[in-house]
Amino acid sequence: MKIGSNRPAAWLAALSFGLGAACSLSVPSEDELFGASGAGGKQATAGSSAGGKAGTEPSDQGGEPATNGGSDTAPGGAGATPLGGQPAIEPGAGGQAGEPGVVVLPPAVLFLHYTFDDVSELIAEDVTGNELHGTLAGTSLPTGELGKIGGALKMNGSLKQYVQLPDDVLDEKPAVSVASWIKLGQALAWDRLFDFNSGESNWFYFSPTGWNANEMTFGTRVAARTPSALAPEIMLSETVSIDKWHHVVVVFAKPFLRYYLDGKLKSEISNMSFDSAALGKTNQNWIGRSVYAPDPYLTGSVDDFRMYAGALTDEEITELYDM
């Protein structure tokens, strides 16, 4: 299977309006970090001291329950290896596909691709031909700039800039992979690269600067829930660094939830209780915005945003990173 696609020849030159500043290291108060809703206070900034009560976490959400600590594992587990769009075979108790204990994941099929090479029409064009175009939004609209591959979309969180994807991008997709280049201008706690949701009890998101409740520190977070289930979450003790392009991939394919950074597996959960199709018809599918109103909008640039039905393999992820 060919996972790349030819990019349009034209891309928008850099239009800089200077996000500029590296993240603040100011220390928020306990009320700001540990309030029940997070509303009304200053945004917590990555790198800040979290000297609050043990067992609590700064509010992402106006009431999201404290996580169960997750069950993410260190890299080095059973990685998917087949090439050419074949199903990913994950060894379990058995050793061959079809044997007990072996999970066969669906192959990845590209269904949405935003190159951001040209945003002059105020849309993020889907170049797959599926016409799943995104809409630029904000108090002023995001702009184009020189990206990792051609053009990129530059967003200023203070102007509440984001991209609205079409409804139902996860519907009837029991496995999904999201891949994108990102360059953070600031690292603000609970920012989002993406958040696909239909409200505060039904979501799937990636936060480059989330919160690790186990270690009481800021760190990358990947999570999903439905109204009936809060799944284990990936919570790391490191964030995605600012002012540098990084390649992010999230694979949500039951029973796995995987996070890759710059072509390498960073963390994996292997006991997800539901799949991506369980989120159903999501109508708030965003790049750069969270379902929770107190959370900051993303400040930074995004390039080559892709969504696949199915599970990208390790080799396919490496190919995307090396493009």
Owning domain of residue 183: 35-73+93-321
Per mean pLDDT, which range of 15-19, 46-50, 123-127, 152-156 is the poorest?
A: 15-19
Classify residue 16: in a domain, yes or no.
no
Classify residue 78: in a domain, yes or no.
no
Classify residue 83: in a domain, yes or no.
no
Per mean pLDDT, which range of 14-23, 112-121, 287-296 is the poorest?
A: 14-23
Assess contact for 56 and 34: CB atoms under 8 A. Answer: yes
Classify residue 283: in a domain, yes or no.
yes
Assess contact for 176 and 307: CB atoms under 8 A. Answer: yes
Residue 60, Cα to own-chain centre: how many angstroms? 15
Classify residue 245: in a domain, yes or no.
yes
Question: Which runs of consecutive H residues, i.e. helices, occur in the chain?
Answer: 30-34, 314-321
Q: Confidence band (pLDDT; 50, 70, 90) for 231? A: confident
Q: How far apart are CA 97 and CA 99, in angstroms?
A: 6
Classify residue 10: in a domain, yes or no.
no
Q: What is the pLDDT at residue 63?
A: 40
Whole-number Cα distances in Å, 154 to 170, 244, 276: 25, 13, 28
The per-residue pLDDT for range 134-161, each reduced to its tens digit, is 999 999 999 999 999 999 999 999 999 9
Q: Identify the CATH number of the domain in which residue 69 sits.
A: 2.60.120.200
Classify residue 65: in a domain, yes or no.
yes
Classify residue 88: in a domain, yes or no.
no
Per mean pLDDT, which range of 33-37, 189-193, 202-206, 244-248 is the poorest?
A: 33-37
Q: How many domains does the chain have?
A: 1
What is the pTM for the complete model shown?
A: 0.75
